[in-house]
Amino acid sequence: MTVDSEKSILKAIKENKLISLFQPIVSANSLEIVGYEALIRGPSDKAWHSPQLLFSLAEQYGIGNRIEIHSINTHLKRRKKLGLQGMLFLNLSSFCISSSEFVISEFTNRLKRSGISPDQVVIEITERHPVQDFIPMISILDELREQGLKIAIDDLGAGYSSLRQWSEIRPDYVKIDGHFIQNIHEDSVKRQFVRSFCEIAIDIGCSIIAEGIETVEELETVQSLEVDYLQGYLIARPQRKPIKHTPARLRQLNGNSTFLSNDLQVRALCKPTLTIAPQLPVRALADKFYQDKSLHVAVVIENNKPLGIITRNSLQQLFSSHYGRDLYGRKPVVLIMNDEAITVSEETEIERLSNQITDNNDTLPDEYFVIVDKNEKYAGIGSLIDLLRAVTDYRITAARHANPLTMLPGNLRINQQIDTLLSAKTSFVLAYCDVDNFKPFNDTYGYARGDDVIREIGQLLARHSQLEQDFVGHIGGDDFIVIFRSIDWEARCRRILDHFKNHALRFYDEKHRECGGIPATDRSGNQQFYDIISISIGVIQVNYKHFTSHKEVASISSEVKKQAKKTKGNSLFIDRRSYQDTFTTDSQSSELPNNVVSINHSDIYK
């Protein structure tokens, strides 16, 4: 049988009978298809149709590398025939890459003949053969990178060597193993793992792909954790003729998404529990608690609306009283339930719920709270311990990414906030604030007094922002961002400038206050006179229909800030242009789109 199988596999290679499938990979932000992973299968009428058995047999017969290289050729031919666009992820083992059978020049020539540029190809190193010797492997991967190809590692967290591979190889993409994605919405530990992977990826400059997305809940949770790309059955299964556009159901799902990456919602804490009718006898509920030792709370519902809760502890206390069982055993549970339990919408931010509980209760409330959907129908139960853990995780993450001088959110959270609002189809106003003449001030008075100025500006921006609506971030140095959703944003900007204009002189010594500035040496060594520090604010009005990511917003806001700085003194520059079309410039470009209306220069404010 083994001889027949080996001959059968070799015959399938010779006759090009292996089947090439493609599974789409989508952007976590927009859910648009960015590329495909190519997967090989044996003929459907063979026992080794599955890739696991195919490669297992191939390695047993010593033809594993041959199968891998033939699979690559099959994928390239099929991709060309289908006319697929975007990135192409090709699986190769470390054994094959480092073998004499894999020749880089031949591989790149095959790419060119297939009409695909090397910079569109990602070599995905499989976990099947962990890298044993990293030095020669890194050398080979560097050669591939020199040709324009990118590198990915597969199944992060699945094997003992995957973290070391990440550290040594420094890939362009990392795929998180599906184990960490399955039911991630119900598992805070998995969420913390994925969050940590994403933080490391940001630090070393690679992108994260979450594999195994199968449910809407998994999708929404992973979207909230800074993952870059998604792959899984919910999007599409591997197919011979893969989808070329994101399914309408998925686009609609993303459009209706209410996830917030910076403000974790109560929905993430939601867990199922026993639901009971109001007329259920108390003794019958006691039997259910007795039969299921993992059950700690039951929710009394009627017409899908929660009426109250009964905990295991409260029932035990009732039955432990002298006549408790006799008095209440036959009575309906509605008589003993806690009908004052906290009920909260699943869209409530955990920080707000935490504040609500601590502000409105002199004593600790029940250890559970009921979660309802937007129609106030029962959705599940949450616990205070999970809430405490989530709030703690959130605050630790926020502190980690805060600017240490002002403790305002830094670049990561600023970018998250912008992408979150765009994903939620929310328009907003972004004000880029920069301090004029700060360097000579800092050089003259020293960093300690310069830090005082930076801290005070951060506090000034926060005071003039609406706590519930607006977001203040510190990019770094003397650059700040305010994301306004409050409707009176322009008046707020003007109050900020007025306040700073009236108070800036107090940062200076008397002699500099009298002459209205500082004589100092510029970068070229020339003596210059620098006016009193001021704030320039460049404002763009961001319509979610015309922007897709924080990179586009950053590109425009930087240019608008430069326009504001062209006017001496405290100035406000409002960009009145209308961005009607999709951006054609990439995130690295500093050019402004051409499809604009003129800027109203009367909006420059001194």
One-letter identity of residue 449: R
- Please give the structure tokens belonging to residue 43: 């003929």
pLDDT at position 597, please? 30
Which string of DSSP letters, residue by residue, matches 137-175? Answer: HHHHHHHHHHTT-EEEEEEETTSTTHHHHHHHH--SEEE
Which of 234-238, 293-297, 431-435 is most confident?
A: 431-435
Nearest to 91 by CA among 159, 36, 156, 31: 36
Q: Note the pLDDT tens digit of each residue in 132-164.
A: 677 888 888 999 999 999 999 887 765 556 677
pLDDT at position 500, please? 96
Which string of DSSP letters, residue by residue, matches 333-397? Answer: GGGTSBTT--EEETTSBHHHHHHHHHHH-SS---SEEEEE-TTS-EEEEEEHHHHHHHHHHHHHH
- Please give the structure tokens belonging to residue 352: 């707000």
pLDDT at position 602, please? 34
pLDDT at position 541, please? 94
Confidence of residue 583 (pLDDT cuts 50, 70, 90): very low
Nearest to 149 by CA among 141, 138, 158, 160: 141
Q: Note the pLDDT tens digit of each residue in 77-120.
A: 999 999 999 999 999 988 888 888 889 999 999 999 999 999 99
Higher pLDDT, 240 or 30: 240
Nearest to 119 by CA among 176, 175, 35, 201: 35
Share above pLDDT 90 across residues of the chain, in percent, rounded to a whole number = 45
Confidence of residue 3 (pLDDT cuts 50, 70, 90): very low
- Please give the structure tokens belonging to residue 74: 């099959």
Confidence of residue 601 (pLDDT cuts 50, 70, 90): very low
Higher pLDDT, 500 or 340: 500
Q: Side by side, which strands form the sheet with 343-345?
A: 343-345, 368-372, 378-383
Nearest to 334 by CA among 308, 357, 359: 308
Interatomic CA distance for residues 387 and 344, integer angstroms: 12
* Cβ neighbours, 10 Å, residue 430: 27
pLDDT at position 11, please? 83
pLDDT at position 579, please? 66
Domain annotation for the chain: domains and CATH numbers:
172-229 (no CATH), 267-391 (3.10.580.10), 401-603 (3.30.70.270)
Confidence of residue 277 (pLDDT cuts 50, 70, 90): very high
Average of per-residue pLDDT across 209-234: 88
Interatomic CA distance for residues 410 and 392, integer angstroms: 19
pLDDT at position 263, please? 47
Which DSSP symbol is given to 265? B
Residue 20: helix, strand or coil by DSSP? strand
pLDDT at position 158, please? 57
pLDDT at position 425, please? 85
Round the average pLDDT of the chain to a whole number and report it: 84
pLDDT at position 79, please? 94
pLDDT at position 386, please? 87
Q: CA 252, 256, 257 angle in degrees (round to 5)?
A: 115
For the entire predicted model, the pTM comes to 0.48
Non-local CB neighbours of 106 within 8 Å, separated by 6+ positions: none
Residue 4 has pLDDT above 70, yes or no: no
Dihedrals phi, psi of 6, to nearest 5 degrees: -65, -45
Residue 490 has pLDDT above 50, yes or no: yes
pLDDT at position 423, please? 79
**DSSP β-bridge partners for residue 435:** 535
Residue 258 has pLDDT above 90, yes or no: no
pLDDT at position 253, please? 59
Dihedrals phi, psi of 421, to nearest 5 degrees: -65, -40
CA trace torsion 141, 143, 149, 153 (10° rounding): 0
Q: Which of 233-242, 269-278, 383-392 has the lowest mean pLDDT?
A: 383-392
pLDDT at position 74, please? 92
Higher pLDDT, 324 or 280: 280
